Amino acid sequence: MFGNRPWKMAVGATAIALLASGCSGGGSDDTDASSNSVIIGISEPQHLIPSNTTETSGAQVLAALFYPLVDFDDQNKPELVAAESISSDDNKVWTVKLKPGFTFSNGEAVTSDSYIQAWNYGAYGPNGQGASYFFERIEGYADLQSVDPDGEDGPQKAPEPKAKSLTGLKKVDDTTFTVSLTAPFTGWESVMGYSAFYPLPNAAFSAPGVIADGFEDAIVGNGPFKMKGTWQHDSQIEVEKVDGFKGTVPKIDGINFKIYQDQKAEYADLTAGNLDVQSSIPIESLAAAPGDLGDRFQKSPSSSFQFVGFPTFQKEFQDVNVRRALSMAINRQEMTDQIFLGSQSPATGFVSPAVAGYRDNVCGENCTYNAAEAKALWAAAPTAPKKIQITYNADGGHKAWVDAMCNQIKQSLAIECTGVGEPKFADLLTKVEKKSPVGLIRLGWVMDYPLMENYLGPLYGTGGSSNYYGYSNKKFDDLVAEGSKAATPEEAITKWQAAEDILATDMPVIPLRFGQNVYGFSEKVSNVKVDTQTRVDLYNIEVK
């Protein structure tokens, strides 16, 4: 989830990841300002089915409606939530035991089948779920995918997959199931904290493996809140507390997720008292925010990573020297100082400081501003274009820094550079997925779970769920896989760091900034926190 809501790509980005998006103005509000409910700003989610939600705004809504198997503590270590226990003797076969007595908001019991059905739906290739990638480690995943015999544009239709269910999912009893992976993965418990692994009730399906019409607009979860009415697209999503919820009970009774198309309009509502939380203050308001909000202007650690991706399937960006030149043409420090007023920091690597294994300056000279070297590399590259385009989502507050980046590129390389805004982040994702000619792609990422692998596999792995630029390197893929199979977290990090070193050479993207949450809230609320995944903590926020 971005804008500064990153794309969990997984939406942040977001993400999935989740990729990160942004916000903007819209939506009537009928929430009683004197009630025990709050108003939180988001962008229009792309989807709300958990296995198809890969950006931060959708993930924020799902965090209200669902209760995860695990969540993460202040050190980003997994802690049990809906699960009573998660165990494995070999990191390959995992046993999940659910806490008893939980129900969905429609009264259905939460059982092992609730997870097995939802995960099978998410993994089944023809369903086209954006977070399907996250089920890839489970045995049987390959048999749920279909391969088009002559390419996606060919006349022959892809055959049906061999199977519709994952052989690696086995029900033991109503509250216990096992997950068998194709290879050991020490981080699997953390992976199951991602939103794609939420359960779904029987009411979600009109037939086995078929989501019922209208379910996404009135989604039913196992969390502390339930939908109030239906998703009012481009306006609002309202939720209310579930009576008798068995888990941790929030201190508020309801939330209006107010949908914006412009972060500046969102900020105006915040300062006017018409909005209770804005999780990402827009660039244009950073200077005024301390005065406008006082101690209600806050910062907190974030896992967000902002970058620009090269569509490597286009000839002009296949030369690594073109990619290196554009990266060297950018003065990251100047941009973070002048545009972001120091609220973000220059990125010199490909994984966030929020995860174990982060190293400073992995990118070296390729991420160091050097206009002379950039111009020399550009001049020597036979396929270097005479002009470039950077496409961004206009609902995320990106115009100012994209324009600044283009000006730096113009000055360094003496070429034309244009920033082009797509109205909504969802629109940009749709164009990128179709490989439409959008030039360089403004992207961001917020971790789905706190491991280096979550930045490496989805974003740069061959066929990765959020690898929208077509990067592929077998040695990189092998190192990521070896890290995943390692017996200990320390051995895994060593392999993943070696994989990151390959990215520093190949430069499939331009690392730009590591973020922190810069947020604000109204005088009505207190105990407002935004976590490393850019989500507002819905359990501790309260109305004064």
* Per-residue DSSP letter, 464: -
pLDDT exceeds cutoff 80 at 313: no
pLDDT at residue 26, as a whole number: 40
Distance (Å) of CA 123 to CA 61, 127, 233: 22, 8, 27
Query: What amino acid occupies position 191?
Result: V
pLDDT at residue 431, as a whole number: 82
pLDDT at residue 156, as a whole number: 62
pLDDT exceeds cutoff 70 at 13: no
What gap in Å lies between CA 48 and CA 299, rounded to an integer? 28
pLDDT at residue 154, as a whole number: 52
pLDDT at residue 6, as a whole number: 34
Percent of the chain with pLDDT over 70: 92
- Residue in the structure block whose two tokens are 């941790």: 248
- For residue 489, give the nearest of 181, 78, 13 by alpha carbon: 78
Give one DSSP letter per residue of 399-448, joined into a string: HHHHHHHHHHHHHHH--EEEEEEESSHHHHHHHHHTT-S--EEEEEEB-S
pLDDT at residue 10, as a whole number: 29
pLDDT exceeds cutoff 70 at 438: yes
Read off the pLDDT of each residue in 61-71 and give the average, rounded to a whole number. 98
For residue 232, the Cα-to-chain-centroid distance in whole angstroms is 22
Residue pLDDT, tens place only, 392-417: 988 777 999 999 999 999 999 999 99
Provide the whole-model pTM.
0.79
Please name the residues in contact with 284: beta carbons below 8 A apart, sequence gap of 6 or more.
Answer: 264, 397, 400
pLDDT exceeds cutoff 90 at 146: no
Distance (Å) of CA 270 to CA 58, 297, 339, 507, 519: 21, 11, 21, 39, 11
Percent of the chain with pLDDT over 90: 75
Q: Is the dihedral of CA 175, 179, 184, 188 positive or negative?
A: negative
Which domains, from first to last, does the chain contain? Answer: 37-66+215-301+518-543 (3.40.190.10), 70-211 (3.90.76.10), 304-514 (3.10.105.10)
What gap in Å lies between CA 84 and CA 68, rounded to an integer? 12
pLDDT at residue 15, as a whole number: 29
| Ramachandran angles phi, psi of 525, nearest 5° | -120, 165
**Mean pLDDT, rounded, of the chain:** 90
- For residue 123, give the nearest of 140, 135, 138, 115 by alpha carbon: 135
Residue pLDDT, tens place only, 256-297: 999 999 899 999 999 999 999 999 999 889 999 999 999 999
What gap in Å lies between CA 485 and CA 488, rounded to an integer? 9
Q: What is the token pair recorded at 350?
A: 């490909």
Residue pLDDT, tens place only, 184-202: 998 999 999 999 999 999 9
CA dihedral of residues 497, 500, 504, 509 (deg, nearest 10): -160
What gap in Å lies between CA 87 and CA 95, rounded to an integer? 5
Q: What is the token pair recorded at 476?
A: 């990189």
pLDDT at residue 518, as a whole number: 94
| CB of 533 closer than 8 Å to CB of 305 | no
